[in-house]
């Protein structure tokens, strides 16, 4: 692809914020192509198209990280290097989320209901599964358990398909965007009227609140998923390169396990934030 040739994943690690714009562009193009060609199935097609566009960049990034693992560097150095790759992926994810949220808000209601119908149904099913007695520690463990399941899927997809974890994360971006967009649409008019602000100002204010409401705990969760996906992807690339059973492979496996352990710890912290901090702030 033309855009792909303009992006160098190795250089992107030094300027990860640039990937935000790439993610925004990929997902925006995917939205309009899905509406234009596959309107009846746009809620899933836009996710697939975003993934297809992103796979070359993500796979190249994973291959770069796998190559670093074969060096004789310390574990602390490797984790620091992997953090650069995670920053690239986080900004890519934020680009997806902001783009999907924007189009959810600005497109006509009928179009939005069709384009995000599967995502909205997913949100309804999640909300229905949260019972009134699931509070405090019980709620933390419920969220943590669900997040661990997603993390395992990320590892499996990344191991089996290389950059496969990007599908789960792009899907999550579209679901989060639907939640943010719903929050904005539901609150902007009433807030603008109550505060005596213009509707455009209300959009900006409610939009920022909606984004923060889900990103406070969402960013740690996605960071953990990317870390786990990166671990699975690194192992996958090592197997493809026939490193299996070698000394290098053992080093790669050890490094990947470090990433998975870190991901589990971050997911637990994210669950605590979602239960005890986010409700207080919003």
pLDDT per position as a tens digit, 141-195: 888 998 999 999 999 988 888 777 888 889 999 999 998 888 887 776 565 555 5
Domain that holds residue 40: 2-281
pLDDT per position as a tens digit, 245-271: 677 788 888 889 999 999 999 999 999
Residue 229 to residue 154: CA distance in whole angstroms: 5
Q: Is the pLDDT of residue 120 over 60?
A: yes
At 129 the pLDDT is: 57
Alpha-carbon distances of 123 from 90, 143, 172, 179, 257, rounded to whole Å: 22, 14, 11, 7, 32
Residue 90 to residue 47: CA distance in whole angstroms: 17
pTM metric for this prediction: 0.84
Share of the chain above pLDDT 90, in %: 36
First to last CA, the chain: 42
Q: How many CB atoms lie within 10 A of CB 119?
A: 26
> Among 11-15, 57-61, 107-111, 148-152, where is mean pLDDT lowest?
11-15
Placement of tokens 């599967």 in the chain: 118
Contacts of residue 274, defined as CB under 8 A and 6 or more positions apart, other chains included, come to 143, 217
| Residue 192 · residue 198 · CB < 8 Å | yes
For the residues of 5-73, what is the DSSP string, one character each?
A: HH--HHHHTTSTTHHHHHHHHHHHHHHHHHHHH-GGGHHHHHHHHHHHHHHHHHHHHHHHHHHHHTSS-
Residue 118 to residue 34: CA distance in whole angstroms: 14
Residue 177 to residue 213: CA distance in whole angstroms: 12
Mean pLDDT over 20-37 rounds to 94
At 46 the pLDDT is: 96
Q: Kindly tell me the burial class for residue 60, based on how many C-beta atoms sit within 10 Å of its own C-beta (0-12, 13-18, 19 or more).
A: middle
| Of 75-79, 132-136, 270-274, highest mean pLDDT | 270-274
More confident of the two residues 203 and 65: 65
How many folded domains does the chain comprise? 1
28 pLDDT band, cuts 50/70/90, is very high
Structure tokens at 51: 């993934």
At 168 the pLDDT is: 85
At 133 the pLDDT is: 44
More confident of the two residues 255 and 72: 255
Structure tokens at 246: 């070698």
Q: How many CB atoms lie within 10 A of CB 93?
A: 26
93 pLDDT band, cuts 50/70/90, is very high
Structure tokens at 95: 């680009």
| Residue 93 · residue 226 · CB < 8 Å | yes
| Residue 27 · residue 8 · CB < 8 Å | no
């Amino acid at each position: 692809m033309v855009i792909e040739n303009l992006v160098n994943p190795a250089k992107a690690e030094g300027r990860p914020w640039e990937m935000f714009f790439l993610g925004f562009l990929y997902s925006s193009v995917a939205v309009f192509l899905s509406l234009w060609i596959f309107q009846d199935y746009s809620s899933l097609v836009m996710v697939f198209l975003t993934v297809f566009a992103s796979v070359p960049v993500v796979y190249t990034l994973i291959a770069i990280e796998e190559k670093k693992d074969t060096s004789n560097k310390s574990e602390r150095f490797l984790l620091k290097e992997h953090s650069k790759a995670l920053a690239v992926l986080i900004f890519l994810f934020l680009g997806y989320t902001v783009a999907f949220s924007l189009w959810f808000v600005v497109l006509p209601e009928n179009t939005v209901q069709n384009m995000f119908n599967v995502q909205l149904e997913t949100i309804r099913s999640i909300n229905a599964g949260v019972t009134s007695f699931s509070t405090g520690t019980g709620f933390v463990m419920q969220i943590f358990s669900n997040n661990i399941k997603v993390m395992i899927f990320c590892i499996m997809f990344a191991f089996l398909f290389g950059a496969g974890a990007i599908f789960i994360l792009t899907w999550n971006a579209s679901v989060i965007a639907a939640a943010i967009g719903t929050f904005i649409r539901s609150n902007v008019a009433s807030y603008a009227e109550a505060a005596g602000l213009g509707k455009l100002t209300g959009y900006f204010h409610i939009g920022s609140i909606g984004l923060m409401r889900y990103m406070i705990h969402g960013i740690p969760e996605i960071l953990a998923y990317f870390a786990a996906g990166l671990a699975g992807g690194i192992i996958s690339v090592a197997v493809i390169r026939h490193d299996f059973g070698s000394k290098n492979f053992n080093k790669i496996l050890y490094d990947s396990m470090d990433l998975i352990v870190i991901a589990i710890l971050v997911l637990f912290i994210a669950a605590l934030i979602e239960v005890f901090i986010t409700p207080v702030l919003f």
